Amino acid sequence: MIQIRNLKKRFRNNTVLDGIDLDINEGDVVGIIGPSGTGKSTLLRCIDLLETPEEGEITIDGAVYSLAEHDRRQTLALRRQTGMVFQRFNLFERKTALENVMEGLVTVQKKPKEEARMLAEGELKRVGMYDWSEHYPKHLSGGQQQRVAIARALAMKPKLLLLDEPTSALDPELVGEVLETIRDIASQGFTMMLVSHEMNFVRKVANRVIFLDGGKIVEDGTPREVFDRPKSQRAKDFFAKMHLLKQPEYTI
């Protein structure tokens, strides 16, 4: 059980998150959608303390962490509970795929090299990248890099996996393999928060969808409830726009 309470984040005068409360059950896959600039990514980054919010706390398995005030020890403790997958993969450039996955196991969890290697190879197999273990990021396509990044995050056995628009930096033809990987790990019972613009994917993979607007949770429910019967006007407008985009430019 993960509880987020009263998360508030401002950038100067711009309130990005305006008191977010969220309870996430173990094994939940929470899709976060909404117009751009409504704090979807900021929400994830605050949970991982890559941004420091003004207020807010998170409880993971009974342990309470303040998001607003934290010393170095608390920061590390929280980060060790969470895993992050970035939009731009952010693999370590000078390390092979295998070393990327091993890095946290060795330096953070202080596992012996051999054990770390075995675990890392297991994770690479899980995302179908085992054959590319010895390759450096520059040898890999965007989709492959993202799969390694997912393996890197999973290797740390996070209680909560945060995926920040994992496919938006990819060429369209590479999106599929990454979505497949995410769907695969979602079905394995990892608790995840997923920010994505791939509405159809969110619909398929998430068992709960949150619509953020103006720093607040506007819709919260099963994919069917949110996508098919949105209650708020804002969400209705948003989906209408998305559908408009999908229509042909003109018809004869």
Partner 1 sequence: MMMQILSETNLFDFGLVGRQLPELLKYLPITLELALLSMLIGLAVGLLLAVIRMKRIPVLRQIAAFYISIIRGTPAIVQLYIAYFGIPMLLKYMNLHFGTDFDISAFPGFACAVFAMGFNESAYNAETIRAALSSVDRGQIEAASAVGMTYPQALRRIILPEAMTVALPGLGNSFIGLIKGTSLAFTCAVVEMTAQGKILGGRNYRYFEVYVSLAIIYWAVTIIVERILKFIEKRLELPEQIDKKAAAAEEPEKARTFTKEAKVRYDTNKKPEKAFSQ
Site residues, partner 1 (CB under 8 A): 27, 29, 48-50, 72, 76, 79-80, 82-84, 86, 88-95, 103-104, 107-108, 125-126, 128, 130-136, 138-139, 149, 152-153, 156, 180, 184, 187, 203-205, 207, 222-224
Question: At its nearest, how many Å lie between partner 1 and the CB of residue 166?
Answer: 13
Question: At its nearest, how many Å lie between partner 1 and the CB of residue 21?
Answer: 23
In angstroms, what CA-CA distances link 196 with 32, 138, 141, 210? Answer: 7, 25, 20, 11
Nearer of residues 55 and 121 to partner 1, judged by Cβ: 121
In 10 A of CB 17, how many CB atoms? 26
3 state SS for 165-190:
CCCCCCCHHHHHHHHHHHHHHHCCCC
Nearer of residues 190 and 251 to partner 1, judged by Cβ: 190
Q: What amino acid occupies position 139?
A: H
Question: At its nearest, how many Å lie between partner 1 and the CB of residue 3?
Answer: 20
- Which residues touch 16 (CB under 8 Å, ≥6 apart)? 9, 10, 38, 39, 42, 215
Nearer of residues 13 and 183 to partner 1, judged by Cβ: 183
**Please, where are the H alpha helices in the chain?**
40-47, 72-79, 97-107, 113-126, 142-155, 172-186, 199-205, 223, 233-246
Separation between Cα atoms, residue 122 and residue 151, nearest integer Å: 9
- Would you give the DSSP letter of residue 89? -
Nearer of residues 18 and 184 to partner 1, judged by Cβ: 184
Here the tokens at position 222 are 């099963």
Nearer of residues 38 and 145 to partner 1, judged by Cβ: 145
Question: At its nearest, how many Å lie between partner 1 and the CB of residue 197?
Answer: 19
- Would you give the DSSP letter of residue 228? I
Nearer of residues 95 and 216 to partner 1, judged by Cβ: 95
Question: At its nearest, how many Å lie between partner 1 and the CB of residue 250?
Answer: 32
- Contact between 199 and 33 under an 8 Å Cβ cutoff? The reply is yes
Question: At its nearest, how many Å lie between partner 1 and the CB of residue 52?
Answer: 12
Question: At its nearest, how many Å lie between partner 1 and the CB of residue 190?
Answer: 12
Nearer of residues 6 and 75 to partner 1, judged by Cβ: 75
